[in-house]
Amino acid sequence: MSVTVLGIDTSNYTTSLAVCRDGEIIENIKLPLPVKDGGVGLRQSDAVFAHTVNLPRAYESLKTDLSSVRAVGYSDRPRNVEGSYMPCFLCGEASAVSVGRALNVPVYKSSHQEGHIKAAVYSSKMPDTGRFYAYHLSGGTFELLKVTKNGASYDCEIKGGTLDVTAGQIIDRVGVMLGLPFPCGRRIDELAAGFTGKLPQIKISVNGCGCNLSGVENKAKKLIDGKEPPELVAAYILEYIKRTVAAMTDNTLHDENLPVLFSGGVSSNSMLRKYFTGKYGAYFAEPAFSADNAAGTALITYDRFING
């Protein structure tokens, strides 16, 4: 008998629903939260309001008959660690518990980060060896994790990451300086692809598996103030991020040689994908499963339901 489950994720960027049937994602609905021109994100109160508006629209977009759903899952917090909390995830909880109660089916919860990793493993076709390194690169997170499979989900040990701002914040802040609409990742990628000249000197700040990225934002502002072309600025910040992640990866693989997986919205960048798949044989989530989504949540829910 076919098994269908529903996943819900309400992050600070996107309202997401996904449907998993027999271990495959058949619907992946994502409605971005609206951000005013010149803005670089939303306050939590505004995000909660936006999810309240978006969730009914997302449900109306579903083609799946909800009466066929056997379980519901949702993201309850950013990361699976004590104290991790964002009010926006309460919207997903309220929706999941309500739907689960109405359908009289079990409701499961997992972290937003676990969902990113699960979606990346699924879409990248990475062999699930049970242990691997995973980068979570997004607007809110820049972490290097040592991941161990634990049943339907994962235990994540933080190996390193940013000591100040995230790669996604750099891309969005610099993009807004250039007059791009938020979120800026896709347009920064396109601008950088059009640059063919020589970049200014780049000096990264990496210590072991930790890094600092705030310096590149200051450098980008100077380039913009100096009337350098947007293509150069975009290529500069992406090259800085690439070299930073490469240095961290080298230091990590020196400790233990495990597969490397990339998840999160920044991981959809074409330059990063080309470089890290070529040099390290890294695995990347497909673009539709890189940025915030509920596919990973749905897949975790399916596994938990099937395996009891």
For the domain that residue 49 is a member of, what is the CATH number?
3.30.420.40
Q: Quick one: pLDDT at residue 52?
A: 98
- 24: domain range? 4-117+290-307
Flag whether 239 is in a domain: yes
Flag whether 130 is in a domain: no
pLDDT band at 37 (very low <50, low <70, confident <90, very high): confident
Asked if pLDDT for residue 251 goes beyond 90, the answer is yes
What letter would DSSP give residue 35? -
What is the spatial order of strands in the sheet that 69-75 belongs to? 24-32, 14-21, 4-10, 69-75, 107-110
Q: Quick one: pLDDT at residue 81?
A: 87
Question: Looking at the structure, do residues 9 and 101 belong to the same domain, yes or no?
Answer: yes
Question: Looking at the structure, do residues 97 and 181 belong to the same domain, yes or no?
Answer: no
Question: Looking at the structure, do residues 215 and 281 belong to the same domain, yes or no?
Answer: yes
Q: Quick one: pLDDT at residue 153?
A: 87
Are 19 and 2 within 8 A, CB to CB?
A: no
Flag whether 238 is in a domain: yes
Flag whether 134 is in a domain: no
Question: Looking at the structure, do residues 181 and 98 belong to the same domain, yes or no?
Answer: no
55 closest CA partner among 106, 90, 20? 90
pLDDT band at 41 (very low <50, low <70, confident <90, very high): confident
Q: Quick one: pLDDT at residue 39?
A: 86
pLDDT digits (tens, 9 = 90+) for 169-191: 999 999 999 999 999 999 999 99
Length of the chain: 308
Flag whether 49 is in a domain: yes
Question: Looking at the structure, do residues 255 and 296 belong to the same domain, yes or no?
Answer: no
Question: Looking at the structure, do residues 112 and 189 belong to the same domain, yes or no?
Answer: no
Flag whether 177 is in a domain: yes
Residue with tokens 């008998």: 1
pLDDT digits (tens, 9 = 90+) for 98-156: 999 999 999 999 999 999 999 999 999 998 789 999 999 999 899 999 999 999 889 99
Flag whether 156 is in a domain: no
What letter would DSSP give residue 267? G
Question: Looking at the structure, do residues 283 and 299 belong to the same domain, yes or no?
Answer: no
| Residue 281 tokens, joined | 């044989």
Q: Quick one: pLDDT at residue 7?
A: 99
Q: What is the mean pLDDT of the chain?
A: 96
R_g over Cα of the chain: 19
Query: What's the total number of domains in the chain?
Result: 2
Question: Looking at the structure, do residues 194 and 280 belong to the same domain, yes or no?
Answer: yes
Q: Note the pTM of the prediction, 2 decimals.
A: 0.94
pLDDT band at 228 (very low <50, low <70, confident <90, very high): very high
Q: Quick one: pLDDT at residue 255?
A: 84
